[in-house]
Amino acid sequence: MKLSEVKELLGAEILAGEDNLKTEITSAFACDLMSDVLAFVEDKSLLLTGLINMQTIRTAEMMDIEAIVFVRGKKPNDEILKLARENNMVILTTKHILYTSCGILHSKGLRGANIMHK
In angstroms, the CA 98 to CA 101 distance is: 5
Residue 43 has pLDDT above 70, yes or no: no
**Residue 81, pLDDT score:** 98
More confident residue, 23 or 33: 23
Which of 50-59, 96-105, 106-115 shows the lowest per-residue confidence on average (mean pLDDT)? 106-115
Which of 5-9, 13-17, 28-32 shows the lowest per-residue confidence on average (mean pLDDT)? 28-32
**Residue 45, pLDDT score:** 86
How far CA 32 is from CA of 4, 56, 67, 91, 108, in Å, comes to 23, 9, 15, 16, 23
- Is the CB of residue 17 less than 8 Å from the CB of residue 97? no
Residue 80: Cβ-neighbour burial (10 angstroms; 0-12, 13-18, 19+): buried
Helix, strand, coil % (nearest 5) of the chain?
40, 20, 40
pTM score: 0.92
Residue 3 has pLDDT above 70, yes or no: yes
Confidence of residue 118 (pLDDT cuts 50, 70, 90): very low
Residue 35 has pLDDT above 90, yes or no: no
Closest CA to 79 of 106, 108, 58, 49: 58
Instruction: Spell out the CATH class of 3-111.
Output: alpha beta
More confident residue, 45 or 56: 56
Closest CA to 49 of 66, 26, 74: 74
